[in-house]
Amino acid sequence: MAPEPSYAAYLSFSETGNIGQTFVSHLHGALKQEGIYTFKDDRNQDRGISFSKDSSRAIEESQIIVVVFCENFVLSKDCLDEVVKIMDCRKLLKKIVIPIFYDVEPSEVRRQRNNLAEAFADDSENDDEIGRSERVKRWRDALNEAGNISGFDLRKTHDGNEAECIEHIVKEIVSKLRSEEVAGERQKYVEFGSKFLSERVIGFTRSAASPFPLCVPVFFFVTIYII
């Protein structure tokens, strides 16, 4: 069962290349202006601070997860582990994932070309542990899945104008959150209705609202013979 949402959105990104201080920071600010409570992990992955339990829990407790892929994303193994977690939550907890391809093509993420391919090759060559190859496989599978999700290719959106792209992304997130809220309210009514009906039908002894037995009308049919 999915935990109750604590955050409206979660931002996944790599600090490599200072993208967190530029594009991601501007996106985070725009989300805050819309009143969207967003988890942004400001740890510096370049300094070896590992993917934290707080981040893992925040992913599980967020309604929407935004992953910002950049050219150097794969250089952070913590980011790759995070993507694996995100894809697991998408599958198991039905989380909405929105990928943003900042300076890479979706096909590069899917196929791990260029810098991605080189980084995977280096990691595979230095395979000192039995579990290393399995970890690399999880990375590949997660990136392939993420690269196939419909998202935003910034270089092909609004002619690469970041301000306009951010505005577009925020509108999309707001729209999805509203859809989730409507669906959530609808589900509550469905669950309430199902519970009420099951209590009425299963042993029509008591209803959810009343401690008294339900009144069940009984009809007697009498046949009168005339002689």
As annotated, the active-site residues are 82
CA distance 111 to 114: 9
Return the amino acid letter for 163. A
The DSSP output letter for 208 is S
Long-range contacts of 106-112 (CB under 8 A, 24+ apart): 106/147, 106/148, 106/151, 106/153, 107/147, 108/147, 109/69, 109/143, 109/144, 109/146, 109/147, 110/143, 110/144, 110/147, 110/148, 111/144, 111/147, 112/74, 112/140, 112/143
Is residue 173 within 8 A of residue 31, CB to CB? The reply is yes
Residues 6+ apart with CB under 8 A from 120: 74, 112, 136, 139, 140
The residue assigned the tokens 């979660």 is 10
